[in-house]
């Protein structure tokens, strides 16, 4: 299955997806055919280039509305034959039109155990709440931010002397395992979205 990845930055999750999809021992059933960034010159683009994956920079500022920007992204994804879209540190909110078009085919990784700590600064929210466990969630994307059905999660401990930076790094190592696992489940048809719920299939 052909996958497109949307990024805005460093792209360590993109790297995890590149490494696992390109390594036949993982049996991912997925191939990344396009990486789109809304920011130029980010490390994530260089990661894709090193792996010889086509890249495209679409600067959101060049479009007069969110809908127009999303439509341009959609056109690029369709042109590349993309069937599943992975958000990997993509820092733009997607329009309802876009999320509707890709419903059940659009997934994201969030640095908290949803439904706790939605939105930005999830790691800071977890530290301020004083929880002792946090983690990451890979979920289907709905128009409401961080709201779709959860495909997989992985927990990490929070230690007394943790800072946002330390916790962010610990969660990222979990993300790099969880995101490929979730993509594999979707790409191989083991899970799908039905009536906004996660359904497991016996194939």
Footprint of ligand GRF (CB under 6 A): 9-14, 44, 88-89, 109-111, 172, 175
- The span from the CA of 172 to the CA of 150, in Å, is 17
Taking the complex as a whole, the smallest distance from the CB of residue 175 to ligand GRF amounts, in Å, to 5
One-letter-per-residue 3-state SS of 32-99: EEEEEECCCCCHHHHHHHHCCCCEEECCHHHCCCHHHHHHHHHHHHHHCCCCEEEECCCCCCCCHHHH
User: Given the complex with ligand GRF, which of 78 and 173 has the nearer CB atom?
Assistant: 173
User: Given the complex with ligand GRF, which of 59 and 121 has the nearer CB atom?
Assistant: 121
Taking the complex as a whole, the smallest distance from the CB of residue 133 to ligand GRF amounts, in Å, to 16
Q: Tokens 């056109």 belong to which residue?
A: 75
Taking the complex as a whole, the smallest distance from the CB of residue 106 to ligand GRF amounts, in Å, to 14
Count CB atoms within 10 A of the CB of residue 130.
7
User: Given the complex with ligand GRF, which of 14 and 80 has the nearer CB atom?
Assistant: 14
Active site residues: 110
- The span from the CA of 82 to the CA of 31, in Å, is 9
User: Given the complex with ligand GRF, which of 109 and 182 has the nearer CB atom?
Assistant: 109
Taking the complex as a whole, the smallest distance from the CB of residue 96 to ligand GRF amounts, in Å, to 20
**Nearest-CB residue to ligand GRF?**
89
């Amino acid at each position: 299955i052909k996958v497109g990845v949307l990024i805005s930055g460093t792209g360590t999750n993109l790297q995890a997806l590149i490494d696992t999809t390109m390594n036949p021992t993982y049996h991912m059933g997925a191939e990344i055919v396009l990486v789109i960034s809304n920011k130029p010159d980010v490390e994530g683009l260089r990661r894709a280039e090193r792996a010889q994956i086509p890249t495209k920079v679409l600067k959101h500022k060049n479009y007069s509305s969110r809908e127009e920007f999303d439509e341009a992204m959609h056109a690029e994804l369709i042109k590349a034959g993309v069937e599943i879209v992975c958000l990997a540190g993509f820092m733009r909110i997607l329009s309802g039109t876009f999320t509707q078009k890709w419903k059940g085919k659009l997934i994201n990784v969030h640095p908290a155990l949803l439904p706790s700590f939605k939105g930005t600064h999830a790691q800071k929210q977890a530290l301020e709440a004083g929880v002792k466990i946090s983690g990451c969630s890979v979920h289907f994307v709905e128009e409401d931010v961080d709201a779709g059905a959860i495909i997989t999660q992985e927990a990490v401990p929070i230690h007394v002397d943790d800072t946002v930076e330390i916790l962010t790094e610990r969660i990222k190592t979990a993300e790099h395992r969880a995101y490929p696992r979730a993509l594999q489940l979707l790409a191989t048809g083991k899970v799908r979205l039905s009536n906004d719920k996660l359904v497991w299939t016996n194939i």
